Amino acid sequence: MPTRTADAEWQGDLRQGKGTMRVGSGAFEGSYSFKSRMGDETVGTNPEELIGAAHAGCYSMALSNALANAGFTPTRVHTTARVHFNQVPSGFAINPIDLETDAVVPGIDEETFQKLAQDAKENCPVSKALAATPINLKATLIK
């Protein structure tokens, strides 16, 4: 399996500095700053947003795979990840991550869907990498 890369560069001090993050494939490059991470600045990204994108993408694929392995072909799986970045006594922490997914899956019943959705949350590689962080799941089957 390939090794994926990403890099980041920061210039200046924490509050006034600025940085750039990019993924190795070249598919994304974006700026980030103290304000885009700690405040309401909408120009630029932040590490938590990128973690959220990775988690939502990985979970959607994991759920699609779990459904297919159970004999169901999803028409659509859409996941939103809300990554909470909070101050804690020791500094800052990502805690929790809320995954909200909805899926169109012909022929599946609610109980089976919920079981597979939960299993995908536990077995998604990004969820496993973030095991120290509480991950909440709300899964909705669209009929």
How close are the terminal C-alpha atoms of the chain, in Å?
Answer: 37
User: Do 79 and 22 share a structural domain?
Assistant: no
Of 130, 125, 132, the closest CA to residue 63 belongs to 125
Give 10-residue mean pLDDT values along the chain (143 residues).
95 96 96 92 91 98 98 98 94 96 98 98 97 97 93
- Total tally of structural domains belonging to the chain: 2
Look up the domain containing 73 and give its range: 47-142
| pLDDT (0 to 100) of residue 71 | 98
Residues 6+ apart with CB under 8 A from 38: none
| pLDDT (0 to 100) of residue 42 | 83
The single-letter code of the amino acid at 60 is S
Q: Is 113 a domain residue? A: yes
| pLDDT (0 to 100) of residue 44 | 92
User: Do 96 and 57 share a structural domain?
Assistant: yes
Q: Write the CATH number for 104.
A: 3.30.300.20
Stated pTM of the model: 0.94
User: Do 85 and 129 share a structural domain?
Assistant: yes
User: Do 138 and 110 share a structural domain?
Assistant: yes
Q: Is 1 a domain residue? A: no
User: Do 11 and 75 share a structural domain?
Assistant: no
Residue 10's CB is within 10 A of a number of other CB atoms, namely 13
User: Do 19 and 68 share a structural domain?
Assistant: no
User: Do 112 and 58 share a structural domain?
Assistant: yes
CA distance 38 to 51: 15
User: Do 23 and 90 share a structural domain?
Assistant: no
